[in-house]
Structure 1
Amino acid sequence: MGYKFRSTLTIGLLYGMLFVLILAVDFFLPDDIYIFSPLMIAILSCIGIFFQYLISPLIIGWIYRIEWVDYNRLEQNDPHIAQLIQNVCQKYNFKLPKFGVIHGGTPNAFTYGWTRNSARLVITDGILELLNAEEQRAVVAHELGHIEHNDFIVMTFVSAIPVMFYTIFRLLTNSYRYRRFTSVKPSRGSSDDNKYAQYILLIKIGLAIVSYIMYIVGYFLSLFISRLREYYADEFSGKETADPNSLATALVKIAYGILQEPEKGQKTFNDKNQYVKALGIFDKNSAKNLAYSATNGSGKIDNTLLARACAWDLYQPWAKFAEITSTHPLPAKRIKQLSYMSFKEFKKPPKVDLSQAKVEFEKQMGKSALDEFFGELLIYIMPKLIFWTWLIVGGILFIANFDITTFSPLFNGYWSFMVFSLVLAGIFQLIQNAFKYKSGFKEHKIVDLIGTIKVSPIRPVPTITKGFVIGRGVPGLFWSEDVVVRDEKGIMFIDYDFGIGFINTLFGIFKAEKLKGKDVEITGWYRRNPSPYIQVHKIKLLDGSGKSFGNYKRAFWQFVGIFLIALGGILWFLL
């Protein structure tokens, strides 16, 4: 079953769900008139999403620092890219996309626009020393695939459905504010009137629950469709270049950064007047989708290192868990699919060997990592889980008129029982902190970190890593607080997230750009979720100034845990 058919089928399923829900609301609540009917709400939601669709390209062009390049210049400097774009556009009968460059060392790229005849294709300087000419063509073809497939429009319609489900959910839950009855009803206070009101209320509750479930299902289906469109663009690239292997090796270099020595004549970061050759093919809103680069001593791809990096994607349960909420498939899965395509359709042996990935996984994790996964997942969700579970249990006991004082002598009433959930949440928050923010920082090279399979969002590697800041985490975005560093063999995403958006933005505007081009020492926690990154504890400049930038997210969550325990204890004592 092809990717186009599967995505079309899933889109049809989403719209079918919406159609059934609208019919159900109109059928079961025929006399319950709102300011806006569910159908009108759906129409208004479409208008809002269409308006967002119209202005989004303008906003992207405004917030990203993009230099637009004409095709005469592109033909002079990179004729192999210009020729590919022209050939594909002529073959599929759409206009040349506007070509732009973001100047920065972080490798990334994306396309955007309204339709395939008004597309923009943006790439960064960071790929210059990572990809050869064939790989550059392969990733450009991937982006052209998104344009040819009209993914701008497709994903706009797809993203509209979960919004509509949620809008109908809110309409049902808040409808008591707007309801008015137009048909003749029994007189006020009659038993028939009360039965009718109860009937309407039960139907609304049921439909609201169904709407919210559809919203959650629709959200995950929309992400699934996005991942299918990525596979579809990969397939387009493989066919148009007749070389799926080149896209596979490009993904190895960009997603995992495993490099060969630059080929003779290949451009480097020092070619200031040149622009980019490559493209990201990653979700620009999840810039952690770049990891590190590494070669072995002979300058060849280190297959053992590649196997370890891909093993996490292929066999670590956390990877499968994280992919569910991602717009892009895991890179190793795309590489496997491209290798299969190369062999099946073009009779070419795969260039990327993942045969040792399972072996490397079992060396570090054993036959299965499910036991560790479930334990870490429990720690990951425990503070919120225990808080809400305790409240729900308390509510059930209250409804059942259970004497809470017989439950335990610690509680003298329902409120004391309820506030004790704060104490439990605080205790488990501190337990989670102990796992997430381990001490014992040791110096590591980037390749040492990426070869570690036994790592997750909860299980980190405390590390001290030195490198050179090559750009922002999200290239061209002037408030991006994250950066990317490179050492002699690697590239790593550095996550500065403080946990408070306003502080992140201030750091991005006033500090992050000043770090560019500086040698730094990063103290933090290496994680994968699913892409590799280091969560910052401290960034220290190595220019002799001794200046450093701290990140107090660990201290913040320690404070939250202690505060919840103290607050719950005080309220429990007072009650």
Structure 2
Amino acid sequence: MTSIPEPSLRAGTEAFREGNYEEAIAHLEGVCAVELDPTVLNSAQQALIVAYCKTERPAEAIARCKQLAQTPDLYPWAAQTLADLTQRYRKANAANFVPPDEQTAQPAASPSPPSPPLQRPLPVAYQTPPEAAPSVYVSGRTWRNGERAKRWKKLKSPRQWKFWLRQAITLALLLWLVNTSLMWVMEGINEVLWRLPVLRPLGLFYRNPWPVVCGVFLVVFVAAPWFLEILLQRLYKLEPLPLHRLAAQYPETAKVFQRLTRHYQVPTPKLALLPTGAPVAMTYGHLPRTACIVLSDALLEQLEDDELAALLAAQFRPIVSREGFLMSGAIAFLQIPFTLYWLIAQQGERWREKPPRHYPLVAIPLLQALCSLGTTVCYTFYWLWRLPLLYVSRQRQYYSDRFAAQFTGNPNALSRALLKMTIGIARQIEQRQFTTALLESFDLLMPISHRQALTLGSVPDTSPFSDLLRWDCTNPYRHWLALVNSHPLLGDRLYLLNRYANHWKLQPEVDLPTLIPPPKTPKDHWFKLKNSYTALPILQSAILSGLGFGLLARLILAAIGLLSDLLSPWVRLPLWRLIWFYNAQPVLINACILAAFSLSLIVWINGYFPDIRISPSREDPRLEDLIRPSHSVPPKSYPVRLKGQLMGRQGLQNQLLQDLMLKTDSGSIKLHFFSKLGPLGNLLPLAPHPSQFIGQMVTVSGWFRRGSTPWIDVDIIRTQSGQQTQSGYPVWVTILAVLSAMGAAYFIWQA
């Protein structure tokens, strides 16, 4: 092995990704020889052992593991890796192994008939018994391939009535939110028209849209299966997937599918295939006879037979429990604003690239402004109306995982399927350089969200999932920070699947730390609520403190006013003048809440946005090192400077910068960019707009924050040519605090 004068962990990792293992070993051996940083050394040792295994050098891998196992405090994974490697190669040497040169001399097998288009060799893990394919675990993406249960006890059935009650409450909240938001918009339009000199308000907008909303809901929810099928066929080229075609490639999956229909005595659901590069699986339909299970061709390529069977069983649960009415209807309803947003943005881009000749020149900017306003309104409605569905969406994933593990007896296969889908979604986003419409508009029906998959699935293969998912299992505020997530934390889901595996005496697929349970008693909830300012983002914390301290201040003022009225006959002072503290109920409540909200922002803003002083350890750090600490929360920001390629949608599809990401050498991460006027200020013609840099190599400075999904609050984006644009998030928060204080003063003056 030739030595390298300047070994580098980054160069070794890049060579490992490209498959140049010899060069990777040379770099990594040099790093291990001279590096003193424990974090860098730990990652280099892990990558080196994986590279040894890739180049069929087990003796060197085992020898290094023996050396590292002597210091378990620094390398806690070395002992387990040594045991697995020793077992693997001991059995491999004892078996009758045929050398490659002798294999070529063996007679060729008889030619097999031509296979269907999706045909590929059956997975070895399914054809070979576990004794002939021992599990192996080394750091990186070498899957343990945990066993399945041969005989298993039935798990305790969850209380289904609770889930139905949650769905009913969710539907009521969705109806109320849609109706209320439409009323606000119509009243706002009439208010603008009233102030214009020529136009007049619309009388129709003064009516309550409740009957129309209920009618549209009823029609969409009933027609949801056919509406979604037509939409997927027209926009995403959905095509039927015959069962015999699936059985030719995945026999176990086909058997599980048939067993499910016979066991639960339901009509055979339709199977459909989506030609997309992202691993997608979803189920829609409000009745078993109208249900359809959709799989993507990328999913069939990336999953093994037992993994796809477990995932298909999870997708079958909405059909069995007959709970698909809410989610199918809600997704169909949400497609209305999202599809309008997408189509209007595309039309606006066509007019920008090729203006219509028969239109006057003055009309082109007006059309662009209308398209910009239309996309903003439609996307805002889509984002707002999906909020009531988030809780049910998270809960249904837990139920589906439990159902799949119970029916197949293979929770380890489902764990691998979820992790491989995470990796596949992240890779597809990196390849396309933006989040596709399918991944965002149908995310509530999918097992994995593209937001949680972006960073977790894009980190290097040398980073064990057991380290990356530690935050999901042990952070005490993770459930509060995941309230606006569409999917539960992946670490939580895998931990439950590991519990099922332990219940059936199986070794789990991924070793995870002991789960810290969520707060259960009112005392625990009150403790988390009281200390929420130490964990939640600044706006959420300010809203909670504004409500809490504002109502408390209002009660104190009301008590003072009532007490002054009672004491005024006995005291010579004019205490009766304070009675207005008690009488001005609604005005003072608003004033107190706004004042507390403003004061909270002013107190916390400096700590939330510290000065960006980049230390050597924060200069282009690795993402896996940033997301590993289990006690990180958004207020504990880390100033960072990262180099990479800017990704996201372009043009009107991304004018709010809702799809802005950075692809670095160590993975991809979400970026939050706010102008000095907040998110809506991104609509203004910034100079230059961040979307103009998409596809270029940039340097991003900002504050890294670790929540349920990690992100960076951007301060400056600078290109290699010297162009830059600066965010105004701290300025916007300051302006918001000042406006809130002015609003509080206005309400007090009115009182």
Query: Scaled by the length of structure 1, what TM-score is found?
Result: 0.59
TM alignment of 1:354-373, pairs within 5 A: 354-355=512-513, 373=531
C-alpha distance in structure 1 between counterparts of 2:639 and 2:669, whole Å? 15
Identify if the C-alpha distance between structure 1 residues 394 and 236 changes in structure 2 by more than 3 Å, giving closer, same or farther.
same
Check conservation: 1:245, 1:338, Cα contact below 8 A. yes
SS state at 2:237 partner: strand
Of 437, 448, 454 in structure 1, the residue corresponding to residue 609 of structure 2 is 437
Q: What is the deviation of 1:445? A: 1.9
SS state at 2:507 partner: coil
C-alpha distance in structure 1 between counterparts of 2:634 and 2:320, whole Å? 37
Letter in 2 for 1:562: V
TM alignment of 1:486-497, pairs within 5 A: 486-496=663-673
SS state at 1:289 partner: helix
C-alpha distance in structure 1 between counterparts of 2:597 and 2:671, whole Å? 29
Identify if the C-alpha distance between structure 1 residues 89 and 326 changes in structure 2 by more than 3 Å, giving closer, same or farther.
farther
Q: What is the deviation of 1:319? A: 0.9
C-alpha distance in structure 1 between counterparts of 2:656 and 2:247, whole Å? 31
Per-residue CA distance 1:506-543 (angstroms, 9 max, x = gap): 99xx97887664434333333333222333334444xx
Identify if the C-alpha distance between structure 1 residues 15 and 77 changes in structure 2 by more than 3 Å, giving closer, same or farther.
closer
Identity of aligned residues (%): 17
Q: What is the deviation of 1:556? A: 0.9
Q: For structure 1, which runs of at least 5 residues remain unmatched after alignment?
A: 19-40, 160-218, 263-267, 271-275, 359-368
Identify if the C-alpha distance between structure 1 residues 570 and 506 changes in structure 2 by more than 3 Å, giving closer, same or farther.
closer
Letter in 2 for 1:528: R
TM alignment of 1:4-403, pairs within 5 A: 5-11=158-164, 49-54=217-222, 58=227, 66-71=235-240, 80=249, 84=253, 88=257, 91-92=260-261, 93-101=267-275, 110-116=282-288, 117-119=290-292, 121=294, 135=307, 138-153=310-325, 155=327, 226-238=393-405, 242-252=409-419, 287-290=450-453, 291-293=455-457, 300-302=462-464, 306-307=466-467, 309-323=468-482, 326=485, 328-345=487-504, 347-355=505-513, 373-374=531-532, 376=534, 380=541, 381-398=544-561, 402=565
Instruction: Indicate the larger mover: 47-56 or 527-536.
Output: 47-56
C-alpha distance in structure 2 between counterparts of 1:122 and 1:512, whole Å? 35
Check conservation: 2:623, 2:667, Cα contact below 8 A. yes
Q: What is the deviation of 1:431? A: 1.7
Q: Is 1:553 paired with 2:729?
A: yes
Identify if the C-alpha distance between structure 1 residues 573 and 231 changes in structure 2 by more than 3 Å, giving closer, same or farther.
closer
Per-residue CA distance 1:146-176 (angstroms, 9 max, x = gap): 45544421557999xxxxxxxxxxxxxxxxx
Q: What is the deviation of 1:6? A: 1.5
Per-residue CA distance 1:347-397 (angstroms, 9 max, x = gap): 531120014788xxxxxxxxxx97994551697132443334334433444
Identify if the C-alpha distance between structure 1 residues 131 and 454 changes in structure 2 by more than 3 Å, giving closer, same or farther.
farther
C-alpha distance in structure 1 between counterparts of 2:413 and 2:683, whole Å? 37
Check conservation: 1:457, 1:529, Cα contact below 8 A. yes
Identify if the C-alpha distance between structure 1 residues 454 and 282 changes in structure 2 by more than 3 Å, giving closer, same or farther.
farther
Aligned to 1:205: none
Per-residue CA distance 1:385-444 (angstroms, 9 max, x = gap): 333433443344445555999899xx9975898857755542321222223323325432
Aligned to 2:342: none
Aligned pair count reads: 457
Larger strand share, 1 or 2? 1
Q: What is the deviation of 1:502? A: 4.8
Letter in 2 for 1:248: S
Letter in 2 for 1:84: T
Per-residue CA distance 1:63-90 (angstroms, 9 max, x = gap): 9994224357999899646983696268
Aligned to 1:215: none
C-alpha distance in structure 2 between counterparts of 1:248 and 1:152, whole Å? 24
Identify if the C-alpha distance between structure 1 residues 62 and 246 changes in structure 2 by more than 3 Å, giving closer, same or farther.
same
Q: What is the deviation of 1:459? A: 2.6
Aligned to 1:192: none
Higher relative contact order structure (alpha carbons within 8 Å, sequence separation ≥ 6): 1
C-alpha distance in structure 1 between counterparts of 2:482 and 2:307, whole Å? 25
Check conservation: 2:170, 2:388, Cα contact below 8 A. no
Computed over aligned residues only, the root mean square deviation of the Cα atoms, in angstroms, reads 5.8
Aligned to 2:639: 462
Letter in 1 for 2:710: P
Q: What is the deviation of 1:132? A: 6.2
Aligned to 2:703: 525
Check conservation: 2:477, 2:528, Cα contact below 8 A. no
Letter in 2 for 1:238: A
Letter in 2 for 1:553: Y
Aligned to 1:31: none
Check conservation: 1:310, 1:357, Cα contact below 8 A. no
C-alpha distance in structure 2 between counterparts of 1:83 and 1:336, whole Å? 25
